[in-house]
Amino acid sequence: MSAGQTLVLDPSARLPFVTPLVLSNLAKEHGAETPDLSFEVNAPTSLKKAASSNGADTIQGAVDVLRALASMYANVGLMGANEAESNAVDAYLVQSDALATAPFQAAMQCADDLDQHLALRTYLVGFRVTAADAAIWGAIRSSSPLLGIIKKHAHAHLARWYAHVDALVAFSSAVTMMAEAKSNMFKNKKTAAGFDLFLQGAKEGQVVTRFPPEASGYLHVGHTKAAILNQYFAKAYKGRLIVRFDDTNPSKEKQEFEDAIIEDLALLGIQGDVLTHTSDYFDQLRDLAVRMIKEGHAYADDTPQEQMRAERMDGIPSKRRDASVEENLSHFQAMCDGTDEGRAWCLRAKMSVDNPNKAMRDPVMYRCNADVPHQRTGTKYKAYPTYDFACPVVDSLEGVTHALRTNEYHDRNPQYAWFLSTLGLRNVEIWDYGRMNFVYTLLSKRKLQWFVDHGIVNDWSDPRFPTVRGMRRRGMTIDCIQQFILSQGPSQQIINMEWDNIWALNKRLIDPVVPRFVALAEDKLVKATIAGAPPAHEKQVPKHKKNAELGMKTTVYDGRILIEQADAASFADQEEITLMDWGNVIVRGKTTTPDGVVTNLELEAHFDGDFKSTKKKVTWLAQPSESRHLTPVMLLDFDYLITKKKLEEEDNFMDYLTPQTRFETPALADANVAALKEGDQIQFERNGYYILDKAQGVDGRREFIKIPDGRAASSASKAAPDENPEQKKAAAAAARAQKAAQKEEKKKQKEAKAANGSKPASSSSDPVQQLIDEGTKNINMYAAPLIQQPTDVPVKST
């Protein structure tokens, strides 16, 4: 069915119509192929073939779609077991359409009839769930009067039936799917609207944005926001994205960095419509600088750097400010020739001496750099434009319509506009957005280079670095980076974020798709024997219990197993524990050393025991033998490079270096791990998520890097004095206990009022109207636990 049918549903309604999803889920439980799903805002409920673009072969309308689906899956029992049941199911389908919008009196009559009908029945028709149950459940869920009636508990059989079907997996998962579709719809709508609100003057097909990195380091998480936002706007308005390298400082730039940036952008799914360099415009920039000198808008200055900085701060004009045009041209030519005299000069824009905005106080336009060859132009040029001068000019020349800049450049926006106005160039709209910072994280390329130069990290791809490569090496997915950036919206505030938010999103993305394996810390591993265990044997089990597409793995079962020291030490004598993915055992004996280290365990098999009754569920591995082996691995974890959450301007980052940032745990993993490739992500059960970093690490061990999962403890600094995960955990537990106590107190007060005959206040004295009002306010009153059993198993009625 999935190849030729599409089920179209509208998630935007206040109470979306979910019954077709229930029928699809019921069919899927029986192994039937189901239609593709399409969630479309304001679209009518319909079932159509893929080729029916003109509307032919499309079924529309709630009842007709339900009938079509029920008939489609009649072979799995959705239309009942015989003709009589089929007719009864069809009657309920018709009734459901009217029931959903029935007024109170009609709803009350229906409730009476249904309650009487269900007195001795589990389901509406026959002995298993059918389309009738789905249709009437959906109608009740959409009816405020019926929900209120059920909550009054005057219709015990109807309430029992509703609670039962509401908790079946096919029903509850349909509600969840629709809720997620509705959430995504509003999130995307909110995100797009928020961005569009700030992009002034944008016209479809005419927007041109640019991402201008400097090839002086690798892309980090801060750069990704700029890159993703620029691409977002270019695509949203069907415009163009320019990737332009700002290569105006040959002392810092390397081809290595440029190549890496292009690769990282590709990994992020970002590809410009054109790739350019500021150096492509060096001749034009120099000509424009000469023109500014001739028009009296620029002058050459040889004031020492520190003195120039002080004069700018104090609003003191340079002694060279009023030099003649001829003098300025001569000095600028010396700069461009790279002569000894020229090296001492720079070119400044003649904007202002004492403007309150210090960015407007005669900024530098050109500097001489005669000793370092440029990576693209070699030694052709000896003087280079500054970013402040080159950026607005090249933006205008390249046709950029909207320049996106972090608001740390906000004070320079008038300077940007001044250059364009003075040179008579086309205007460019500037759009400011807030820079994204993270706690315990340095984003300065200069500071990150210091860690590389001093050997504290291996390179720019180190998993402790906030670079795109570092984050990916630590297990962050590209999808996570993209979704997280766009979810932040167009805020202009400088955001200082915790890492747990982005890692939590990453966990949600990888958890459904990573296989599960077992690894045990090697330190003081405990050998255990299980009396009554079957002979050693192998069994094929799923790599992920909820994702069969990941395939199978081989698990070895044996009466001789290994258990981690921490687990073994926690076992009490005669305690029943659960060996995960096997069964229960009872601790019959434990051998320990005088200092409390467990050396041996004697267990007794009780594999049929109730795993729900045990407090401890532990991982284990069969002991290795000559014919079967375990895989030696090294589990790596990391801490932040600095111990202070947010460095102030006066702080020296070297005063806050974390003493130890790399942690190694030798471990033994099951043999399946040997087949993994570098970059594969997995979960070691009860240990966390990991990514295989090196297939052949130190001593031949496979090296796995731990992927943070977003929990406070995993995202906290291990060395910072202001972090105490255990204390935070205790405080959270106390808060939950207090909330539970308050809830219990309210419940007691409510029961006391009911016992005393008191009634809740109502705006109407009419009891029928009170019932309607209360039902209207309580649309989702049931939070029943999921029933993890097939939906065709009857439930006994009492």
Token digits of residue 96? 């459901």
* Predicted confidence (pLDDT) per residue in 529-587, tens digit: 999 999 999 999 999 999 999 999 999 999 999 999 999 999 999 999 999 999 999 99
Confidence of residue 729 (pLDDT cuts 50, 70, 90): low
3-class SS of residue 744 = helix
Mean pLDDT within 206-212 = 95
Residue with tokens 């409510």: 750
> Which CATH number is 276-388 given?
3.90.800.10
| β-pairing verdict for 274-277 and 240-245 | parallel
- Please report the DSSP string for 341-380 in residue order: TGGG-EEEE---SS-SSGGGS--EEEEE--SS-BTTTBTS
- Residue 612: exposure state from Cβ atoms within 10 A (0-12, 13-18, ≥19): exposed
- The pLDDT score that the predictor gives to residue 183 is 66
Please say whether the beta carbons of 617 and 611 come within 8 A: yes
The least confident of 14-18, 202-206, 500-504 is 14-18
- Residue 149: exposure state from Cβ atoms within 10 A (0-12, 13-18, ≥19): buried
| β-pairing verdict for 526-531 and 598-606 | parallel
Q: Does residue 114 carry a pLDDT above 70? A: yes
The least confident of 268-272, 392-396, 508-512, 638-642 is 268-272
- The pLDDT score that the predictor gives to residue 302 is 96
- Please report the DSSP string for 587-604 in residue order: EEEEEE-TTS-EEEEEEE
Q: Does residue 710 carry a pLDDT above 80? A: yes
- Rg of the chain, C-alpha, whole Å: 35
254 CB contacts (<8 Å, ≥6 apart)? 215, 216, 375
Please say whether the beta carbons of 156 and 200 come within 8 A: no
3-class SS of residue 433 = strand
Residue count of the chain = 798
Token digits of residue 752? 């006391």
Query: What is d(CA 286, CA 292) in angstroms, rounded to the nearest whole number?
Result: 10
- The pLDDT score that the predictor gives to residue 693 is 96
Mean pLDDT within 362-379 = 95
Q: Does residue 792 carry a pLDDT above 50? A: no
Residues forming a β-bridge with 367: 346, 384
Confidence of residue 793 (pLDDT cuts 50, 70, 90): very low
Query: What is d(CA 358, CA 469) in angstroms, rounded to the nearest whole number?
Result: 37
- The backbone torsions φ and ψ at residue 382, rounded to the nearest 5 degrees and listed phi first, read -110, -15
Please say whether the beta carbons of 149 and 114 come within 8 A: no
- Please report the DSSP string for 749-781 in residue order: HHHHHHHTT-----S-S-HHHHHHHHHHH-S--
Residues forming a β-bridge with 512: none
* Torsion 351-354-360-362 (CA) sign: positive
Secondary element (H or E) of residue 100: none
Please say whether the beta carbons of 435 and 408 come within 8 A: yes
Query: What is d(CA 617, CA 235) in angstroms, rounded to the nearest whole number?
Result: 50
- The backbone torsions φ and ψ at residue 635, rounded to the nearest 5 degrees and listed phi first, read -95, 120
The least confident of 256-260, 433-437, 632-636, 684-688 is 433-437
- CATH architecture observed for domain 516-625: Beta Barrel (2.40)
Token digits of residue 396? 């205008």
Confidence of residue 722 (pLDDT cuts 50, 70, 90): low
Residues forming a β-bridge with 8: 38, 46
Q: Does residue 265 carry a pLDDT above 70? A: yes
The least confident of 277-286, 373-382, 668-677, 734-743 is 734-743
Residue with tokens 């001496």: 353
Secondary element (H or E) of residue 143: none
Cα 480 to the chain's mean position, in Å? 4
Token digits of residue 38? 């399409």
Please say whether the beta carbons of 155 and 112 come within 8 A: yes
> Which CATH number is 632-714 given?
2.40.240.10
Higher-confidence residue: 664 or 102? 664
Token digits of residue 61? 């309308």
Nearest by Cα to 640 from 725, 711, 722, 717: 717
Neighbours of 583 (CB within 10 A): 16
> What is the pTM (predicted TM-score) of this model?
0.65
The b-or-e profile of 531-563 (16+ CB within 10 A means b, else e) is eebeeeeeeeebbbeeeeebeebebbbbbebbb
- CATH architecture observed for domain 208-274+436-509: 3-Layer(aba) Sandwich (3.40)
Domains 516-625 and 632-714 share a fold: yes
Query: What is d(CA 718, CA 716) in angstroms, rounded to the nearest whole number?
Result: 6
Nearest by Cα to 530 from 591, 600, 605: 605
Token digits of residue 486? 């766009």
Neighbours of 695 (CB within 10 A): 15
Nearest by Cα to 348 from 376, 311, 315, 386: 386
310 CB contacts (<8 Å, ≥6 apart)? 316
Q: Give the chain's mean pLDDT.
A: 87
Mean pLDDT within 448-466 = 93
Q: Does residue 607 carry a pLDDT above 60? A: yes
Residue spans of the domains in the chain: they are: 5-188, 208-274+436-509, 276-388, 516-625, 632-714
486 CB contacts (<8 Å, ≥6 apart)? 191, 228, 232
Token digits of residue 496? 């200082």
Q: Summarize the chain as % helix, strand, coil (round to 5).
A: 40, 20, 40
Query: What is d(CA 251, CA 216) in angstroms, rounded to the nearest whole number?
Result: 9
3-class SS of residue 734 = helix
Please say whether the beta carbons of 628 and 620 come within 8 A: no
Secondary element (H or E) of residue 38: strand 36-39
3-class SS of residue 83 = helix
Contacts 24+ apart (CB under 8 A), 314-319: 315/353, 315/354, 315/361, 316/353, 317/353, 318/348, 318/362
Confidence of residue 147 (pLDDT cuts 50, 70, 90): confident
Q: Is CATH 1.20.1050.130 correct for 5-188?
A: yes
Q: What percent of the chain is modeled with pLDDT above 70? A: 87
Query: What is d(CA 176, CA 396) in angstroms, rounded to the nearest whole number?
Result: 49
Q: Does residue 498 carry a pLDDT above 50? A: yes
Token digits of residue 741? 């106590």
Nearest by Cα to 163 from 122, 193, 207: 122
- The pLDDT score that the predictor gives to residue 261 is 94
The least confident of 325-329, 522-526, 694-698, 739-743 is 739-743
The b-or-e profile of 23-61 (16+ CB within 10 A means b, else e) is bbbbbeeeebebbeeebeeeeebbbbeeebeeeeeebee
- Residue 83: exposure state from Cβ atoms within 10 A (0-12, 13-18, ≥19): exposed
Neighbours of 520 (CB within 10 A): 26
Residues forming a β-bridge with 211: 243
- The backbone torsions φ and ψ at residue 52, rounded to the nearest 5 degrees and listed phi first, read -90, 55
- The backbone torsions φ and ψ at residue 405, rounded to the nearest 5 degrees and listed phi first, read -135, 145
Token digits of residue 22? 């229930």
Please say whether the beta carbons of 143 and 102 come within 8 A: yes
Query: What is d(CA 186, CA 798) in angstroms, rounded to the nearest whole number?
Result: 44
Confidence of residue 154 (pLDDT cuts 50, 70, 90): confident
- Please report the DSSP string for 441-462 in residue order: ----HHHHHHHHHTTSSSSTT-
Query: What is d(CA 358, CA 375) in angstroms, rounded to the nearest whole number?
Result: 33
